[in-house]
Structure 1
Amino acid sequence: MRFGFVGSFGSVVEVVDMAVEAETHGWDGFFTWDGISLEGLEEAWDPWVVLAAAAVRTSKIRLGALVFALPRRRPWVFAKQAVTVDHLSGGRVVLPVGLGVPDDRAVSGVAAEAPTVRERAELLDEDLAILEHAFRGETFSYSGKHHTVTDMRLLPRPLQQPRIPVWVVGSYPSERSMGRAARWDGVVPQLRGDRAMDPMTPADVAEVVGWVRAHREPGPVPYDVVIQGVLPEDPQEAVAASRALAEAGATWFIESRWDPKTATPDVLTARIRQGPPIL
């Protein structure tokens, strides 16, 4: 299992410095996040600017955002941004994507950008289809309910082939949501209903992995199951918790701390310097 870390809070310089620290201290991935105006999380940076800066200051670590709110973005612009940072990083970008959260006023507070959950899901499906065309570097057209593209070609192609890996948020056990994630390169699973805010247990992970194996055609690249949360502070307990998730089928654990009162830049940097668990 690989380990990533979210640089959730700090100045833009501090966040980019965290990416360097993460690479230095043995983490496999560094992630920023994609938000514009969330109550309590107002100080947010543009993820592509952060990732571009991190790309030129690191050489090995995977880079992404947890998660990109794809339905409020133009997919052809998003594809160009992704390919640019893919080349800048030497092919280290990964794209976790989801519907976006209504708490972000860029989703719910802008009339033209305030679709229902169903409409955002439709947009996500169309956006992903356009990304697949765009990453091929061939001229394509697309006609959907929300997007129409005519004779577009995006070059250069990504360094990573057959495409930049796309991890899709999957709401388990929703057939539609999980089915969407199973068609791509990885799933960032979330539970539904009363357990929506609960962390994924090893039993939950095993269920998700079983679902994916039963519904997904084998692909040319390994499929990732990406768990986010906070590991125990005690190193031995962190190893035990990580090992249980890995044995259940998780391929990534991404340390994600979202309370700005406790996840200060100093705390985040200190945690990064402790390094990930060694399994």
Structure 2
Amino acid sequence: MRYGLNLPNGAVDPATLAEFAFLAEQAGWDGVFLEDYIVWQGDQEVETLDPWIALAAMATRTQRVRLGTLVTPLARRRPWKVARETVTLDRLSGGRVILGVGVGDTVSSDVSFTLFGEELDLRKRAAMLDEALEVLVGLWSGETYSHDGDHYHVGGVKLLPGPYQKPRIPIWVGGGYPLAGPTRRAASWDGSCLYRHGSHYLTPDDVRDLGAYVRKVRGTLDGYDIVVGGT
């Protein structure tokens, strides 16, 4: 079992986040992660940081802890930009990045989707997430990659360098458990950072049932991470 901290990317300055990461590593924590909001939880009065730049500062102050986002709503990000950001951080940190992804909060929880004219329909966002993940992995490959989908087009591009980690950066998937879409998506990637739909934290029974589902889908839990939140 490993332990990590999930910190806000709002209401704090980047130097303080870097110091938090340093102190967490010294105290024996295994990972330090940031939320990914454009406007932190939709509150325009809260000073909000770019998580990737803040994580780069955290990487320079640490040597061991894993670093990443929990979670990046990938439908609101250009996957090729995320490819560059994650690879740069993975190289800077010596292969310590984990990318957490999800569809993003509902409009009632994060009004910035409305403020910036972004996709509001969660089903469409889910389709964009799945396609963006396909694009992201293709761009991480270091090979010439093409894609022509419903939401994204890549016209024969090779992005170098590739990630420090091989074969690629691990991907954790967030969303509401036991909803079918997020649960199925999480089992398809490298880890689950699902929350209990309607009540937030997974229960011990949830973790057991989720593990059984992932084992059924994948044939094994080896190399798979199940993240459980708590306070």
**Pair in the same fold by TM > 0.5:** yes
Per-residue deviation, 1:169: 1.1
Q: Name which one, 1 or 2, has greater alpha-carbon Rg.
A: 1
- Gap runs ≥5 in structure 1: 231-279
Q: Is the 8 A contact 1:69 1:97 kept in 2?
A: yes
Q: Distance in 2 between matches of 1:226 and 1:93?
A: 15
User: Structure 2 length as normaliser, TM-score?
Assistant: 0.91
**TM-superposed deviation, 1:173:** 2.2
- CA deviation digits over 1:95-141, x for unaligned, max 9? 01111113333322222x13310110011001100011111111111
Structure 2 residue runs of 5 or longer lacking an equivalent are: none
The one of 148, 152, 162 equivalent to 2:157 is 152
Letter in 2 for 1:110: F
Please give the secondary structure, in 2, of the residue aligned with 1:31: strand
97-106 or 51-60, which deviates more: 97-106
Distance 1:7 1:180 in 2: 24
Q: Secondary structure at the match of 1:104?
A: coil
Deviation at 1:183, TM superposition (A): 1.2
SS in 1 for 2:195: strand
Q: CA deviation at 1:217?
A: 4.6
| 2:227 alignment counterpart | 226
| Structure 1 residues 43-70: Cα deviation after superposition (integer angstroms, max 9, x where no partner) | 2211001111111111111001211111
1:216 corresponding residue in structure 2? 218
What corresponds to 2:72 in structure 1? Answer: 68
Give the % identical residues.
43
CA distance in 2, matches of 1:179, 1:146: 21
Match of 1:44 in 2: 48
Deviation at 1:216, TM superposition (A): 2.1
Q: CA deviation at 1:182?
A: 1.1
Q: Which residue of 2 aligns with 1:189?
A: 194
Once the two structures are superposed, the pairs formed by residues 1-279 of structure 1 within 5 Å of their partners are 1-8=1-8, 9-37=11-39, 38-40=41-43, 42-101=46-105, 102=107, 103-111=109-117, 113-192=118-197, 196-218=198-220, 222-230=223-231
TM-score of the aligned structures, taking structure 1 as reference length: 0.76
- Provide the aligned C-alpha RMSD in A: 1.7
Distance 1:141 1:218 in 2: 32
Instruction: With a CA cutoff of 8 Å and minimum separation of 6, indicate the structure with the bigger relative contact order.
Output: 1
- 8 Å Cα contact 2:22-2:61 kept in structure 1: yes
The residue type equivalent to 1:144 in the other structure is G
Q: Please say if residues 7 and 19 of structure 1, whose CA atoms lie closer than 8 Å, have aligned partners that are also in contact.
A: no
Runs (4+) of structure 1 exceeding 4 A deviation are none
Conserved 8 A contact 1:141-1:149: yes
Tell me, in whole angstroms, the C-alpha distance in 2 between the residues paired with 1:68 and 1:229.
20
In 2, distance between residues paired with 1:36 and 1:218?
37
Instruction: Identify the range of structure 1 (69-78 vs 32-41) with the bigger mean alpha-carbon deviation.
Output: 32-41
Contact 1:3–1:27 (Cα < 8 Å) also in 2: yes
The alignment partner of 1:227 has SS state of coil
CA distance in 1, matches of 2:31, 2:157: 32
Q: Report the more deviating stretch, 210-219 or 48-57.
A: 210-219
Using the TM superposition, give the Cα deviation of residue 170 of structure 1 relative to its aligned residue in structure 2, in angstroms: 4.1
**How many positions carry a matched residue from both structures?**
225
Change (3 A) 1:173 1:6: closer
Partner of 1:266: none
What letter is aligned with 2:230?
G
Q: Decide whether the 8 Å contact of 2:214 with 2:220 is kept in 1.
A: no
